[in-house]
Amino acid sequence: MGLRERKKEQTRRTIEDAAFRLFDERGFHATTVADIAAAADIAPRTFFGYFPTKEDVVFCGFGDSFASLAAALREREPGVTTFDALRSFIIAMVAEGPEADPHRDVRLRLLADNEALASHESHLLGRFEGLIGEAVAADLGDEDNDLRPRMVAAAAVAALKALQPTDHTKKRPLDDEGLAQLDEAFAFLHGGIAGLQERRATASAG
Amino acid sequence: MGLRERKKEQTRRTIEDAAFRLFDERGFHATTVADIAAAADIAPRTFFGYFPTKEDVVFCGFGDSFASLAAALREREPGVTTFDALRSFIIAMVAEGPEADPHRDVRLRLLADNEALASHESHLLGRFEGLIGEAVAADLGDEDNDLRPRMVAAAAVAALKALQPTDHTKKRPLDDEGLAQLDEAFAFLHGGIAGLQERRATASAG
DNA sequence: CCGCAAGATTGCAATCAGTGCAGAAATGCG
DNA sequence: CGCATTTCTGCACTGATTGCAATCTTGCGG
pLDDT in tens, A31-85: 999 999 999 999 999 999 999 999 999 999 999 999 999 999 999 998 899 999 9
Cβ atoms of A110 and B113 within 8 Å: the answer is no
Show Cβ contacts of residue B44 under 8 Å, excluding neighbours closer than 6 positions: B33, B34, B37
- Distance set, CA B140 to CA A56, A128, A205, B205 (Å): 39, 28, 32, 21
Rounded mean pLDDT of chain A?
Answer: 90
Evaluate if the CB of A48 falls below 7 Å from strand D. yes
Rounded mean pLDDT of chain B?
Answer: 90
> Which strand C nucleotides have any atom less than 7 A from protein CB atoms?
7-13, 15-21, 27-29
Mean pLDDT value of segment B123-139: 95
> CB B120 to CB A118 under 8 A?
no
3-state DSSP call for residue B61? coil
- Residues across chain B: 206
> CB B123 to CB A115 under 8 A?
yes
**What is the pLDDT at residue A12?**
97
Residue A10 clears pLDDT 70, i.e. is over it: yes
Query: How long is the CA A133 to C1' D7 vector, in angstroms?
Result: 50
pLDDT interval class at B94 (50, 70, 90): confident
Evaluate if the CB of A88 falls below 7 Å from strand D. no
**What is the pLDDT at residue A170?**
62
> pTM score > 0.85 for this model?
yes
d(CA A197, CA A189): 12
pLDDT interval class at B121 (50, 70, 90): very high
Query: Which of A36, A44, A34, A5 shows the shortest CA–CA distance to A20?
Result: A36
Mean pLDDT value of segment B63-73: 95
Which residues in chain B touch residue A150, judged by CB atoms under 8 angstroms apart? 158-159, 161-162
B147 alpha carbon, distance to own chain's centre? 22
Mean pLDDT value of segment A101-128: 95
What is the per-residue DSSP string for A174-206? --HHHHHHHHHHHHHHHHHHHHHHHHHHHHHH-
Query: How long is the CA A114 to C1' D20 vector, in angstroms?
Result: 34
Evaluate if the CB of A45 falls below 7 Å from strand D. yes
pLDDT interval class at B180 (50, 70, 90): confident
pLDDT tens-digit readout, A128-157: 999 999 999 999 887 878 889 999 999 999
Query: What DSSP state is assigned to residue A170?
Result: S
